[in-house]
Amino acid sequence: MATNIVRNENSNRPATAPISLRLRHCGRTFPGTRGSHAPHVALQPLDLDVEPGETLVLLGPSGCGKTTTLRIISGLEQPDIGGQVWFGEEDVTQLPIEKRDVGMVFQNYALFPNMNVEANIAYGLRIRGLSPDDIRRRVGEMVDMVHLNGLERRPVHELSGGQKQRVALARALAVRPRVLLFDEPLAALDAKLRDRLRVDIGQLLRSLGITSVYVTHDQAEAMALGDRIAVMENGRIAQLGTPREIYHHPGSAFVADFIGSVNRLEIKGAEEGQLMVAGGRLSVARYHGASVLYCRPEDIEVCPVTQAAITGRVLQTFFLGQSQRLFVDTGAETPLQVESPSREQWLPGQTIGLSIAEEALFSIADAQ
């Protein structure tokens, strides 16, 4: 408690070493609401460790518990009895959000409409009682950092969505929080702006080295920003790992399917070191005994039919600009998805050959 008081009074401290963040047995059950009286388990009790300075992304579909986890970390939500939240060596479970020293960026910006850009950024500093000089200096730094120069006096309702989110980011960073929390910050922006702001946020997070938790349902965002990603499903973590691990070695069919597209190849049998699949056979040394293998669309190559491991008929092509997506009927239940360079031309009905490198194939433990 004593350390906490010192911290609040001395928010002008130099950027301190980043802290770790730990959740221990944090679950959340909501009492039954109207209609259904059964309590709703939003989050199964979970443990989660975020290293100092790391950006952890919580990724999953809506209702998977990612936002609840974030709100428990922030202090907006209390975990069920027995749950603990640790910031470094301090147990903050009982602390309300205003004493936790977190910075939050919300999906709908949540800027204060009664204040202009400058006053929004200065809000946390004023609350902490910094001197006007310090506030002015810190606000100036923040405005530079998020490239809002010249807009300091603008009322926030005159800003574009991207500018609003920059103000929100500056406002959260101005108080030098111990932990930075993002709740789907880019979801309300259009695609182009989302990409740009994603790059900016990524650079900012790397250069600041601040411990961050980032909630999103967008897998591209998760992979671009996360040092590690926790994919969540039904109130529990389905897989936790680096973006590469998650993408190339998904731990479950759900994860494989949620992150990018994936092809499912059913193994019909083995013959002379080759695995029989719909449309052909795969020459692989591993995976004998597996019933299903997976591969990503970009790992399948179109090749002459004579050299092909699998042949199939093009059902449909979707031009994506930087590439094209082919749907190829190989006789299996679902067509294979193949990513091919965008300059090649394929016609629906055409028979093509496909090859898959052995290292591109993976199996999933829980898949049947």
Partner 1 sequence: MTTASVRRNGRRGMFYWQLAFTLLICLFMIVPVVMSVTAGLTENYFVGLSSGLTTRWLVEVWNLYAQSIWLSIYLALSCLGVTLVLGIPAAYGLLKSQKRWASLVEELLLMPVAVPGLATALALLLAYGGFRGFRSSWLFILVGHVLFTLPFMIRPVLAVMQSINVVKLEEAASSLGARPVQRFLSVVLPNCTSGILAGALMVLTLSVGEFNITWMLHTPLTKTLPVGLADSYASMRLEVGSAYTLIFLMMILPFLIVVQWLGQVMTRKASARVS
Q: Which spans of this chain sit near partner 1 (rule: CB under 8 A)?
A: 8, 34, 74, 76, 96-99, 101-104, 106, 108, 110-116, 118-119, 122-124, 126-128, 153, 155, 157, 168, 171-172, 175, 181
Cβ proximity to partner 1: between 22 and 171 the closer is 171
Coil, strand, or helix at residue 138? helix
Q: What angle do CA 20, 26, 28 make, to 5 degrees?
A: 140
Cβ proximity to partner 1: between 54 and 183 the closer is 183
Residue 17 DSSP label: P
CB 8 → partner 1: shortest distance, Å?
A: 7
Cβ proximity to partner 1: between 153 and 343 the closer is 153
Cβ proximity to partner 1: between 177 and 335 the closer is 177
Residue 235 DSSP label: T
CB 19 → partner 1: shortest distance, Å?
A: 17
| DSSP output for 59-123 | E-STTSSHHHHHHHHHTSSPPPTT-EEEETTEE-TTS-GGGS-EEEE-TT----TTSBHHHHHHH
CB 202 → partner 1: shortest distance, Å?
A: 22
CB 208 → partner 1: shortest distance, Å?
A: 17
CB 87 → partner 1: shortest distance, Å?
A: 14
What is the C-alpha to C-alpha distance for residues 177 and 40, in angstroms, rounded to an integer?
A: 32
Q: Which two tokens stand for residue 237?
A: 């973590």
What is the C-alpha to C-alpha distance for residues 120 and 127, in angstroms, rounded to an integer?
A: 11
CB 50 → partner 1: shortest distance, Å?
A: 17
Cβ proximity to partner 1: between 210 and 352 the closer is 210
Coil, strand, or helix at residue 360? helix
Cβ proximity to partner 1: between 115 and 278 the closer is 115
